[in-house]
Amino acid sequence: MAKKIVYTKHAEEMLTLRNIKKGTVADCLKNPFKKLKSRKGRKIFLKNFGKNKLKVVAIENEEFLVITCHWIAPGRIK
């Protein structure tokens, strides 16, 4: 069974501002090419989408709580 994805108010605003679709975020969370630990128990999920990579910061427990997301230009992640 797939984990539920919940968005903070900030994440919802960033989706609109940065023209990112929820389906794209879901794909990144479920199939990242890289998953990194972050502060405060958060994780960073990275996925390639053509020229750019999507970075999603979320807390992963029984569900995903998306904190924020944004596009990253090539070369920014090593």
pLDDT tens digit sequence for 31-75: 999 999 999 999 999 999 888 899 999 999 999 999 999 999 776
Q: Give the up-direction half-sphere exposure of residue 72: CA atoms within 13 A in the CB hemisphere.
A: 17
Which residue is it, tokens 């998953």? 35
Domain edges within the chain: 5-61
- Measured on CA atoms in the order 12, 16, 38, 62, is the torsion positive or negative? positive
User: Helices marked H in the chain — which ranges?
Assistant: 9-17, 22-30
The pTM of this model reads 0.89
CB atoms inside a 10 Å sphere around CB 55: 20
Confidence at residue 51, expressed as pLDDT on a 0 to 100 scale: 83
Confidence at residue 69, expressed as pLDDT on a 0 to 100 scale: 96
